[in-house]
Each structure stands twice: as structure tokens, then as C-alpha cells.
Amino acid sequence: MRVQKRRRKKRSFFVKLMAAMAVIIIAYFSFKIISDTGYQALNPNDTKFKAVTIKSGSTPQEMGDTLQKEKIIRSSHAFAKYAKQYGSEKLIAGTYLLSAAQDVESIYKQMTIGPTAAPQLPEGYAYIGNTQTPEQTAQSIATATNVPSAKILQAYDDKNLIKKMEAKYPQLMKGVNPSGKTTYKLYDYVYPGVYNLKGSGNADAVVEKLLGIANDDLKPYYSEMKANGIPAPTVISLTSVSGKSEFERRLKFIKKIAPYAQELSKEYGILASISIAQAAHESNWDNSILSSKYNNYYGVKTQDERAGKSVVLETSEVVDGETQTQKARFAVYKSWKDSMKQHAETLAKGNTWNPDQFKDVLAAKNYKQAAKALQDDSYATDTNYTQLLIKLIESWNLEQYDK
């Protein structure tokens, strides 16, 4: 009987030991799986970049907490563990462009180079920035896919592919005309971001995939784009940097001043598109102190030093081809309408020393002629002023207010 009891105790002990080992093994592999998963990208298909600031003096864990809070990584613990393993002292504080498509290894590498570093991506991923040229994006795609960059550039201009994309994404592709002049290239319809291009196929397939993602990203804007005739590249270039709120703010500004610009056009003969474009450009879309606080939309200067009539502010002027910061006295208006009215009167009646100074602007038949006339008639010192106005008018379809 004692032998059987001893055997039972040994068997019971062995069973308990095996069970405990099983628990430890399961816990180990579960932790390893969770840990390994923590290193992976949070969302491999996220095409958006976010500016994330890592504060100076942050510990690896605090950095990880920031990245997890901003929804860039899966696990702050995984980031801290990786950083400690490969050298947390190499991490540099600053503001980084990061994406949830980046894994911990890529983010760590980027943060050891510094805030000026281009986004570091896993194999098979391409980064397309909002300031990149078509050639730069083609090279990024080529590196990620092994599709030659020359083939990507050809696809951007391919008329057959343009027709195919117009048929597939009609709301996105307005502004491209494969049978005549091409206002934009397919490249202009690619939304800046990071793309998982693994297994994308040939150049046409890659470009089609990029445009498909852009089409999804722009769906919230399609109703406003259609109602106002605004092309997709305008929305893409703005929202990829400033977000939807800035698009809505600028559109609201146009809607606010357009009816009055049309009234002034009838009275003074100044094209409404020119009045709106100049107001948007000179006031930084009503985001300058001079416009938002003093109702001066056009940067009008004055010699009137009476209280409430003027204010002295810093301004940028182009002198001999170089931009200089100077102080100048600017007019103060009771309302934004007063500012627009005086602007129209100045163009229509000129100055006291030259009443015909802007006669070419008045004689212009369209916004391109008027924009050139402003430059020729010495309205602005910026040598790029004509092209700036033309681009702004075409980007926001301001010509519609001239009809």
C-alpha cells in the first residue's frame, strides 16, 4: 500500500510539473507572439503621415507612449524594448512625419537620423511626399516594386491609361483630357503618403492602385468639388498638408467675398476672379494679422498716420530679385467690404500721380490677361505675381465668378 501511495504521489507530482511547464511555455510563446506583433505596423495600408513631436529628454518608454497615443505604433512597450536593445541613446527628439504603415524598426531608424530624415519604410513600401517631383516618386516606386522608374513616368502620361482611369474614377479624374490638352498628369492625382506596393505588378497596375486609394481618400470632398468645379489636385495638395478644415476654411472665404467681387466687377470693370485671387493671395486667405484684425485684404499702404487709419507692420518686399523684410504703414478699414471697394477704385481710377496706371487691367478680356497686366502695370514687386494669380484662379475655379 505504501508503495502504491508513493507511486501516486510521484505521478501526481509529475503531472503538476508538466502542467506548470506547459503554462510557462504557453506564457512564453504568447508573450513572444504579442511582442513580435508589437513590432509590426499598426496599419500597413495607412497612406497618411502625421507630424509627431517627441519632446526633448523623453525616455524610450515615454517616446513609445507618445507614438502609441498618436496611433502610429501598436505597443509602446515594444518600441521601448527595441530602443533599449539597439541603443536608446541614438534617438533624437524633434518633430517627425510618421505613418501607421511603418513598423517599429523603421520608426526607430528614422528617429536616429533626426527630424529632417525622409520616412524610413519596410521593404515593398514607397513614400510619396507632397513636394516630390514625378521623377522622385517614380524612383521611390521603382525601389519598392522593381518596376523601372522610366515605366512609371510613361504610365503617368499614358493616354490609354488616362482614359481607363477617367472611366473608373470619374469624380477624381476631372481635369485630364487625353484627346486634347492635358491640364494635369496622373501623378497629380496621387495622394501623398506611404503605400504598400508588394505584388502590385507592372507600372500601369501600380499607378491604378495609387489612384484607387486617392479616390477613396477624396470621397468626403466630392460634393464640394463638383458644386464648385474644383479639381482634385487642388484638394490633394492642400489637405495632404493642412487637412480638411483648411480646405473648408478657404472655400468659405471664397464664398464670402465672391458675391461682392461680382458687384464691384459690374461697377468698376474689374474681373471678379482677379479681385478674389488677389484678396486670397495678399491676405493668406484672411489668415494674416493685417486682414483678420485690420480688414486690409490687399496689403494697401498709406501715409495717413491718424489713429485708427493705419498700422505699422513688417512686410516682405522683393528688391533686386531678393526678398527683404521691411516695416511699412498699412491702411486700416472698418470692414472687409471697404477694403475690396477701395481696391477696385484704385484699379479703376489709378493713383493721384497716374490715373491710367492700371488701364491694361481694365482692358483685359480674361483673367490671364488681367494677371499679366497687373505685373506689367507695376502692381506688385514679386516677379512671379502673374503666375501665382493664374494658378490660384485655376486651382479654385474662380473664373466661374466672371460669367
pLDDT digit string (tens) for 165-178?
Answer: 999 999 999 877 65
Residue 3 Cα to chain centre, angstroms: 81
DSSP per-residue string spanning 258-315 = HHHHHHHHHHH---HHHHHHHHHHHTTTTTSHHHHHH--SS--B----STTTEEEEEE
Which cell numbers hold the place of 10?
510521484
DSSP 175: T
Q: Which residues pair with 328 in a beta bridge?
A: 313
Give ranges for CATH 3.30.1490.480 in the chain: 50-113
pLDDT value at residue 8: 54
pLDDT over 90 percentage in the chain: 66
CA angle, 181 as apex, 403 and 154 as ends, to 5°? 145
Q: How many beta carbons lie within 10 A of that of residue 237, not counting itself?
A: 16
Q: How confident is the model at residue 15 (pLDDT cuts 50, 70, 90)?
A: low
pLDDT value at residue 25: 54
Give ranges for CATH 1.10.530.10 in the chain: 243-402
Q: What is the CATH number of domain 50-113?
A: 3.30.1490.480
pTM above 0.85, yes or no: no
pLDDT value at residue 18: 60
Q: What is the mean pLDDT of residues 5-22?
A: 56
DSSP 325: E
* Range from 181-190, 219-228, 372-381 carrying the lowest mean pLDDT: 181-190
Which cell numbers hold the place of 75?
505597443
pLDDT value at residue 22: 56
Q: What is the mean pLDDT of residues 343-360?
A: 92
DSSP per-residue string spanning 238-251 = HHHHH-HHHHHHHH
Q: How many beta carbons lie within 10 A of that of residue 184, not counting itself?
A: 17
Q: Over 50: is that where the pLDDT of 366 sits?
A: yes
Residue 316 Cα to chain centre, angstroms: 25
Q: Over 60: is that where the pLDDT of 204 sits?
A: yes
Element (H, E) at 387: helix 385-395
Question: 472698418: which residue's cell?
Answer: 334
pLDDT value at residue 303: 85
Instruction: For residue range 57-75, list pLDDT tens digits in order.
Output: 999 999 999 999 999 999 9
* Gap between the Cα atoms of 74 and 76, Å rounded: 7
Q: How confident is the model at residue 20 (pLDDT cuts 50, 70, 90)?
A: low
Amino acid of residue 396: W
pLDDT value at residue 314: 80
Q: Over 70: is that where the pLDDT of 27 sits?
A: no
Instruction: For residue range 372-397, list pLDDT tens digits in order.
Output: 999 999 898 788 999 999 999 999 99
pLDDT value at residue 7: 53
**What long-range pairs does 262-270 form, CB within 8 A, spacing at least 24?**
262/401, 264/340, 264/341, 264/344, 265/402, 267/344, 268/344, 268/345, 268/347, 268/348, 269/348, 269/362, 270/344, 270/347, 270/348, 270/361, 270/362, 270/370
* Gap between the Cα atoms of 137 and 120, Å rounded: 15
Q: What is the mean pLDDT of residues 39-52?
A: 85
Phi, then psi, of 258 in degrees rounded to 5: -60, -45
- pLDDT, the chain, mean: 88
Given the candidates 3.40.50.720, 1.10.10.60, 1.10.530.10, 2.60.40.10, the CATH classification of the domain at 243-402 is 1.10.530.10
DSSP per-residue string spanning 38-52 = HHSBS-TT----EEE
Is the model more confident about 403 or about 155? 155
Instruction: For residue range 105-136, list pLDDT tens digits in order.
Output: 999 999 999 998 888 888 888 989 888 899 99
- Max Cα distance, the chain (Å): 126
SS3 114: coil
Residue 144 Cα to chain centre, angstroms: 22
Q: With contact defined as beta carbons under 8 Å apart, do 297 and 339 qualify?
A: yes
